[in-house]
Amino acid sequence: MIALHTSELADRIFIADGSCAEALAYLADGAGLHSNERLMMLIMLDALNIFSGATMRHSLRVGLQVRTFCTILGHTARDAARFGLYACLHDAGKMSVPITMLEKPGKFTAEERDLVETHVKQEFLFPEQFSRCHRDPFRHALRFHHENFDGTGYPDRLAGNQIPEIAQITRLCDFFDAVRQDRPYRKGLSLPKTIALMQQSQGAFNPKLFKVFRNEIGSIDRCHLRALH
Ligand SMILES: [Fe+2]
Ligand SMILES: [Fe+2]
């Protein structure tokens, strides 16, 4: 068993980016993971950082937003921390997609879109080191975070409460963060434009969750560290 404190290890891994170390330590502490589970989590985030710093920062922001939103929803502190961690790896499967394609300016072709959509199927990423109680929600956040509440999402076209709660919550925060950020082919949207777009896309979200999210959008927008941008 490797006995490194989470924040020590985070400092080593993200030594060049103190803000990431802070976010990671904040997310991991309070979630009650065993040390080998924390180590696995950090290794996976480090790999994601090497693959794409922007994707890793997006993942950490979504994790922080999910944690804040879960607290607003009334989850216990430990469950909110755990949900935040599970959401942190929602896009880990993007490591299976060529980075040059992910970062290309302009829209994806249909073929490229199909390839990008395979990122939700990389369930091999969750190894046996995670105990069963964590492995399933980690998988759910990864596999189902592009499912829409109205059944029009992918990969399994689940609808309503067939979609696990962690995936419904991650769907909201992931959509929110993705449109707020600059992309190679467009500028990030302002907060009012983001709200308008989310309202137009309401079929994607659980309406009860969306109502709370919209009411609390200011605190969710501010919860991540400015340095993560
Ligand atoms: Fe995704
Ligand atoms: Fe994402």
Residues surrounding ion ligand 1 at CB below 5 Å: 91
Give residue 56 CA to ligand 2 midpoint distance, Å: 9
Q: Note if the bond before 192 is cis, omega within 30 degrees.
A: no
Question: 45 in a domain, yes or no?
Answer: yes
Question: 178 in a domain, yes or no?
Answer: yes
Give residue 101 CA to ligand 2 midpoint distance, Å: 16
* Count of domains forming the chain: 1
Question: 121 in a domain, yes or no?
Answer: yes
Question: 1 in a domain, yes or no?
Answer: no
For 25-58, write each residue's pLDDT tens digit: 777 778 888 888 888 888 888 888 889 988 988 9
Question: 79 in a domain, yes or no?
Answer: yes
Give residue 143 CA to ligand 2 midpoint distance, Å: 12
Question: 70 in a domain, yes or no?
Answer: yes
**C-alpha atoms less than 13 angstroms from C-alpha of 113 in its C-beta half-sphere:** 7
Contact call for residues 166 and 90 (beta carbons, < 8 A): no
CATH number for the domain spanning 145: value is 1.10.3210.10
pTM, two decimals, is 0.88
- Give the DSSP letter of residue 18: H
Range with lowest mean pLDDT among 48-57, 80-89, 147-156, 158-167: 48-57
Give residue 15's pLDDT band: very low, low, confident or very high (50, 70, 90): very low
Proximal ligand: closest to the CA of 57: 2
Question: 75 in a domain, yes or no?
Answer: yes
Question: 167 in a domain, yes or no?
Answer: yes
Give residue 52 CA to ligand 2 midpoint distance, Å: 12
Give residue 36 CA to ligand 2 midpoint distance, Å: 25
Proximal ligand: closest to the CA of 119: 1
For 67-123, write each residue's pLDDT tens digit: 999 999 999 999 999 999 999 999 999 999 999 988 888 889 999 999 999 999 998
Q: Give the domain extent around 157.
A: 6-228
CA distances from 82 to 7, 33, 160 (A): 17, 8, 23
Round to the nearest angstrom and report the end-to-end CA distance of the chain. 34
